[in-house]
Homo-oligomer: A and B are copies of this chain.
């Protein structure tokens, strides 16, 4: 036995020969056992064991037009907001026999297109993408590919195909209402510079009723960027009473920096995040935030894709999973 594969991997042909049946009968025994006699199935399964056969899904997919793969596209894996979505997506898809192909766009429209092309070329049975696809070219190409597409983490009246998410404008609006209700006047914003964070900021400012001092940080945000953002904001207005952050990482950084500067949170400075990251409930003070069920988004997206692949009609191609404000100690 060598380092190089000792003998060619067994094919269905080998299995059929070992079981003494025809190729197609072996195929059916494995893929559609209902139409094959129990005795035959047994023989084929024994042959599978003895040959160590693993089906070549690429070959099967070529003929059957079902690759059993689904493309998943995120800006970057390190954007932890999307992690529960990707994780749930992967798990839910695996349970149905599908595997996820991962693509990263780095928040770059060009990369997004090239990733999409690489995906389409692999004939996935579905594509799940975080956010709405921005470029019209890509939208058209995707629509014309005929592949089921689920856009996530946002909402749209005219999705490419299906969408599972929530309204960032409404999140911003709800946060604005919450800040107004608290009576805070001097309000600042620490925000990622990506599209969705900007939408939340828009909703927030609309409800507050005016432009607010904003520290933009490059996405993906982090604790470190939060610390810096507070520095910037306090230079603009040292009397700030409350800050609305576009992520819990950012909020955490703002809190750490505020405490380091001797400010009390929330008495001197109230801070709110977004995303309900798991650490937020356990910091001191704990972080008020907006909860979105990212895992549920992933599960629903997987279900939509799987349903489509089974040829079932999807009754509800636009699913709003909503959100809720989680009040903790930092406000």
Contacts and interface: CB of A to CB of B under 8 A. Distances in A.
A220 B103 CA distance: 24
Interface in A272-297: 278-279, 281-284
A122 interface: yes
Contact of A52 (B67, B106, B141, B278): B141
Contacts of A260: 284
Contacts of A115: 94
Interface in A177-199: none
Interface string A190-227: 00000000000000000000000000000000111001
Identical chains in the assembly: 2
A67 B260 CA distance: 53
Given A77-B87, A224-B281, A278-B223, A122 B94 contact: no
A27 to B, nearest CB: 14
A84 interface: yes
Interface string A41-71: 0000000000010111111011000010100
Centre residue among A80, A99, A141 by max chain B CB count within 10 A:
A99
Interface stretch (A166-174, A231-239, A248-256): A248-256
B100 A102 contact: yes
B77 A282 contact: no
Interface in A139-154: 141, 144-146
B249 A279 contact: yes
A263 interface: no
B90 A84 contact: no
A256 B282 contact: yes
A94 B104 CA distance: 9
10 contacts: A5-B145, A54-B120, A56-B121, A57-B122, A69-B122, A77-B83, A90-B104, A101-B101, A256-B282, A259-B284
Given A5-B146, A57-B123, A99-B103, 10 more contacts: A6-B144, A77-B90, A94-B103, A97-B118, A99-B101, A100-B102, A223-B283, A224-B282, A256-B282, A259-B284
